[in-house]
Structure 1
């Protein structure tokens, strides 16, 4: 019999990731009051983004960001933050970004039709961020599908994706992990309410996820570029300085499904697009990526 003083060694079975997905958002998930319906309130848009890279490039990200900032003329190139850049520097950053081996995803949710909506089931489970989790779910459905399909084409032995969140003090990432575990259980039992897409659990392991500070993560800073560029292209309310040039320049890296970004690399909510009741300037970026707005 072994001595009880000996420590039991538990093997580390956490899989090594083949991909890393950095996630950030622009706007907020508030629904109680939503602009422009309400003169003051939450943002009209929540734009959630993901930048996906092979894990083997993780050590190169800091160099990529420093090069973008240096080339654009930033004197202290240590922290890429979209809102701090003038337009001419944003243009340089985006033009450099699309030269790198990454894929981008954006889930753009126009919240006017959700104003005042309450998810009673989520509230009963004490979930205070159900709308954020819902939008993240839609984003991860696309990200995990891409990783699953891409790994299969590359005949990769490893295909897991590590999820890294740009940390916000308003979010509980423990709640997010619990929500994802619930979805996984429901998927196994065939009880998912949304059936068109699903999170590809074959490439996800909840232990491969963590929040990081924006300043400490070059990948999170790249995700900020995507989320903020599309937010700037969609939001026409002050204080946003509307400009869709930069979101258009990102097209070479936006993920495609069957040759199209619609509903995949660029996903607009609600569906169909006409439900969003967008103005002409807001429609431009989505029409650029192939959306049609029928009367």
Structure 2
């Protein structure tokens, strides 16, 4: 079975921007434009293609600051600070370079990259062995027999790798039930509350015991009085969090076009030439060693 690599492009861009920006190492080109995040992205994707032995490559992107989740909750990701000025010019640059390098790029307005990843993974999992690279643990809800999630750690080759068996052993639930866990515990980084006072350990115990948010609510009388009160007090937040925690897996996509466009064969010499033409010498030097 052929192997499909799906990359969360923004996750890699942000990760490698901040990895070097903390030391003020922005790698400006001759026009004075920073390229540190772009060069890290290129190096990481090239390494991932090699490590995953990918036959097909898709890079997904967020398209704009708002999605359908902002209609569910105005607070969703609203607290996040504006990107640093050195990063701003790299958003357009990285997508343009990603296309020049021959990766299939996709983003859909009103949806997050996670939703595009989820839709592709769920609709193509019977045809390919799929590896998803991201920094977002929410994607673990997509795990299946033919879908692995590689969570980025540091550098270009270190991952916290999850398959469905590891997830079951570690969490004691099925991957889709992670949605219910996140609904109870909330997510401060994404700006949705869950049930105030219910943390990950308690939320996980609820789902291990009762199977879902609905199952927990049906057996609420069996819970300690304090937990019952918290659920009653923050019931509306719980219902909203259920919607926000779930990755949308029915994004309207042209799957036939995706199948035709995603095959990829690495041509290191060509990739190096493209990097050199854009003064991405750190990325070019790295590619030559692969």
- TM > 0.5: no
Higher relative contact order (CA 8 A, sep 6+): 1
TM bucket, shorter chain: under 0.3
TM-score normalised by length of structure 2: 0.25
Greater helix share, structure number:
2
